[in-house]
Amino acid sequence: MANHKIGRTTEDIKRELTAIMRQVKDPRVADAFISIIRVEVTNDLSYCNVYISAMEGLERAKLALKGLKSASGYIRRELGNRLKLRHVPELIFHATDSIEYSANISRILNSLDIKEDDEDENLSDD
């Protein structure tokens, strides 16, 4: 039962963090196209690991990470105002390159240019 509550709280935190990050005025955050990839909350709700990624790559995500760390007090206060939690977890931000990685895989798959008709003919010849 407690695990279900942690999962629901994690989803609530992710949803609210996404909305709050749109309001952050720091140019390192506002000018970047960043996305929250994953949120992990400890069982006692004391820490929250937030994994972010930027479309421009890992270096841009690291720059946005510095802006998020400097705005963490504002973000935490807004999170406490939006969610009725007894204790608002301390936010720990991490940068990942998962958006850049998945975009690269998509480019590779699109460049393969596999013809479905040729494959069907090769299968029928066997």
Task: Please compute Rg for the chain using Cα positions.
Answer: 20
pTM value is 0.75
pLDDT digits 0-9 by tens, 23-77:
888 888 888 888 899 999 998 889 999 999 888 888 888 999 999 999 999 999 9
CA atoms of 39 and 91, how far apart (whole Å)? 10
Which domains are present in the chain? Answer: 2-125 (3.30.300.20)
CA atoms of 69 and 54, how far apart (whole Å)? 16
Grade residue 110 by pLDDT with cuts at 50, 70 and 90: confident
Tokens coding 95: 């940068």
pLDDT (0 to 100) of residue 124: 60
Q: If you search the block for the tokens 């969610």, which residue do you land on?
A: 83
pLDDT (0 to 100) of residue 126: 54
pLDDT at 117 over 60: no
pLDDT at 22 over 70: yes
Phi-psi region of 45 (alpha: psi -120 to 50; beta: other; left: phi over 0): left
- What integer is the mean pLDDT of 78-102? 87
